[in-house]
Structure 1
Amino acid sequence: MIVVTTPTGDIGHQVVQNLLQSSAQIRVIARDPSHLAEEVRDNVEIVTGSHGDAGVVNEAFSGADTVFWLAPADPKATSVTEAYVDFTRPAAAALKDQGVKRVVSITALGRGSPVADKAGFVTGSLAMDDLIVSMGVAFRGLAMPSFMDNIARQAITIRNQGKFFLPIAADLKLPSVATRDIAAVAARWLLDDSWTGQSEVPVLGPEDISFDDMAAIISEVLGKAVTYQQISLNAYKARFVQFGMSDAMAQGMTDMAWAKDQGLDLAVSRTPENSTPTSFRQWCEDTLKPAVLD
């Protein structure tokens, strides 16, 4: 039995779709099962509620071999620690109490970096991993750079202004990965019942790419000029606060961006094994272009 958290999220729903192509028994935890696709509702077990609730995770993990773990976004949290570590505490206890063998977690690159303890959401994510690992469960933390898919959150700005914005240097080449590739890697680990031990698995995308490089590719794919503009950290934080995020979580996002600008995501060397196939150009054709032209 494989338990999937966040089955309607950007990554989680793709993990479920990949698992449905196998013969595995699948159980999902969903706050609102009506948000699941009909195909999913018809082919999985559903536990209704939050995977931050002790009763829910104990029910969901009962009889399970493997868990896909992803902490959900919590823009109103009073601290990054609350959003990651405190949210995960009930599930960590349930992993041990219910005898779950393996956990595949979505986490971040940066462990061992000199700025890892000042990296906002990344710092919280790594502390969350440490909590899960302390339960003695076999663990694979899929360690991510930034997602290509986050650029699509600025699709309207790209369409209307021909620009996208972040507080990271325009010419800094960093790894970037498509969520569909993350989901594919996660599904492979979830379906493999042979592994033991505890380790991170970097998932780096196919190449290091700068935001100026991205802008040039977006321009070619859309057939219109698109530029990247670096903004200040203060302006970046202010935008999150404007959209209703708590000050602590807006600061967590800002600290993460600062750390990435300091090279946080470059601590792991690229290899064929940790590179994934979807190029930024292909992602633009498949995902960004339809979002911008919608």
Structure 2
Amino acid sequence: MTTYAVTGATGQLGSLAIDALRARGVAPSDVVAIVRDAGKASGLRDGGVDVRVADYADGAAVRAALEGVDRLLLVSGSEVGSRVPQHTTVIEAARDAGVGLIAYTSILRATASGLALAREHVETEKVLAESGVDHILLRNGWYSENYVAALQPTLDGGVLYGAAGDGRVAPAARADYATAAAAAIVDGTPRVYELAGAESLTYDDIAGILAEVSGKPVRYQDLPQTDYAAALAQNGVPAPMNEVLADSDAGVARGELDGDATDLTGLVGDLTPFRDVVRAAL
């Protein structure tokens, strides 16, 4: 019997990964949900999942939370700029607790990527390589949900803003990445997965799909990277995330979040169409 732990288990990806593990037949009692706030995990606990409290930065707490765990899904932290020390703490705690396999959610083609977001992922991959623990790299591409996070203002204004030029992106639904993570960690083979969606879309394509599904006119307005970062800040996106998002759009312009990787389809099968993600958001 194998015990699986998931960090960030009440977060968007972590919670879906637990659902995906259970869908693959893993018993709730064999799943450990590692959370920062136990109050947010009542649904998991009520479903029979073992909820344990630990912060990414608290090595002793993480070590205790990983007691008896065989395989760990390390969902990358959300605190840009602090993730390398946080991830290192979790990896070292997992090694000390005797975890046999760590699956880590990295970024598409991390070691070749020019995205600012890739830097902490590359450093984390190095820490994993040096840890001596068997590991799986889940190099996730862009989430389809990134384009519907501010859907209502986009529809109200009729404009999708960005800095991607005529570059293409291959997004996939968060649930598909979660399903892939569950499939990979249950299989347990240490390897690198390059995970990208099956659709290759320009931002004009994305604007067209938003318009088609919503029934409202939407066009794409391309901005210089610095102007887009400033616009995001003016609309409430805090630093440094506004700069990171603008930089990521510049990466789309260079083709860094596009590609013909088929690992996601191989793990999941048929992927969720971008249109369906938009429809669900509406």
Q: Where on the TM-score scale, by shorter chain, does this alignment land: which range?
A: 0.7 to 0.9
The residue that corresponds to 1:190 in the other structure is: 185
Task: Give the CA deviation at 1:223.
Answer: 1.2
> 2:128 and 2:185 mapped to 1: Cα distance?
16
Matched letter for residue 86 of structure 2: F
The residue that corresponds to 2:19 in the other structure is: 17
Q: Which runs of 5+ in 2 are unaligned?
A: none
Whether 2:162 is the aligned partner of 1:163: answer no
Q: Percent identity?
A: 21
Q: Do the aligned residues in 2 keep the contact of 1:30 with 1:50 (CA within 8 Å)?
A: yes
> 1:238 and 1:106 mapped to 2: Cα distance?
29
Instruction: Report the 3-state secondary structure (helix = DSSP H, G, I; strand = E; otherwise coil) of the residue aligned with 2:171.
Output: strand
Q: Do the aligned residues in 2 keep the contact of 1:101 with 1:137 (CA within 8 Å)?
A: yes
Task: Give the CA deviation at 1:105.
Answer: 1.4
- TM alignment of 1:202-281, pairs within 5 A: 202-239=194-231, 241-242=233-234, 243=236, 245-247=238-240, 249-266=241-258, 269-270=261-262, 273=266, 277-281=271-275
The residue that corresponds to 2:281 in the other structure is: 288
Matched letter for residue 83 of structure 1: S
1:238-292 deviation per Cα after TM superposition (whole angstroms, max 9, x unaligned): 3454536344x5444433332332122246644753775111122222x222xxx
TM-score by length of 2: 0.87
Whether 2:169 is the aligned partner of 1:174: answer yes
Instruction: Report the 3-state secondary structure (helix = DSSP H, G, I; strand = E; otherwise coil) of the residue aligned with 1:50.
Output: coil
- Equivalent residue in structure 2 for 1:132, among 123, 128, 131: 128
> 1:201 and 1:160 mapped to 2: Cα distance?
38
Q: Do the aligned residues in 2 keep the contact of 1:221 with 1:281 (CA within 8 Å)?
A: yes
Task: Give the CA deviation at 1:48.
Answer: 1.4
Root mean square deviation of aligned Cα: 2.3
Task: Give the CA deviation at 1:112.
Answer: 4.5
Q: Do the aligned residues in 1 keep the contact of 2:95 with 2:133 (CA within 8 Å)?
A: yes
Q: Do the aligned residues in 1 keep the contact of 2:173 with 2:277 (CA within 8 Å)?
A: yes
Q: Do the aligned residues in 1 keep the contact of 2:170 with 2:197 (CA within 8 Å)?
A: yes
Q: 1:246 to 1:214 in 2, by over 3 A?
A: closer
Instruction: Report the 3-state secondary structure (helix = DSSP H, G, I; strand = E; otherwise coil) of the residue aligned with 2:249.
Output: helix
The residue that corresponds to 2:140 in the other structure is: 144
Whether 2:56 is the aligned partner of 1:51: answer yes
Q: 1:134 to 1:48 in 2, by over 3 A?
A: same
Q: Do the aligned residues in 1 keep the contact of 2:74 with 2:103 (CA within 8 Å)?
A: yes
Task: Give the CA deviation at 1:11.
Answer: 1.0
Whether 2:106 is the aligned partner of 1:104: answer no
1:82-135 deviation per Cα after TM superposition (whole angstroms, max 9, x unaligned): 42211112112112211211111111113343xx2x421112112212212221
> 1:54 and 1:66 mapped to 2: Cα distance?
18
Q: 1:101 to 1:268 in 2, by over 3 A?
A: farther
Instruction: Report the 3-state secondary structure (helix = DSSP H, G, I; strand = E; otherwise coil) of the residue aligned with 2:85.
Output: helix
Q: 1:145 to 1:58 in 2, by over 3 A?
A: same
> 1:95 and 1:8 mapped to 2: Cα distance?
20
> 2:44 and 2:84 mapped to 1: Cα distance?
33
Instruction: Report the 3-state secondary structure (helix = DSSP H, G, I; strand = E; otherwise coil) of the residue aligned with 1:221.
Output: helix
Instruction: Report the 3-state secondary structure (helix = DSSP H, G, I; strand = E; otherwise coil) of the residue aligned with 1:12.
Output: helix
Q: Do the aligned residues in 2 keep the contact of 1:3 with 1:67 (CA within 8 Å)?
A: yes
Matched letter for residue 92 of structure 1: I
> 1:176 and 1:205 mapped to 2: Cα distance?
5
Q: 1:236 to 1:56 in 2, by over 3 A?
A: farther
> 2:75 and 2:117 mapped to 1: Cα distance?
13
Aligned length: 274
- Equivalent residue in structure 1 for 2:78, among 60, 73, 80: 73
TM-score by length of 1: 0.84
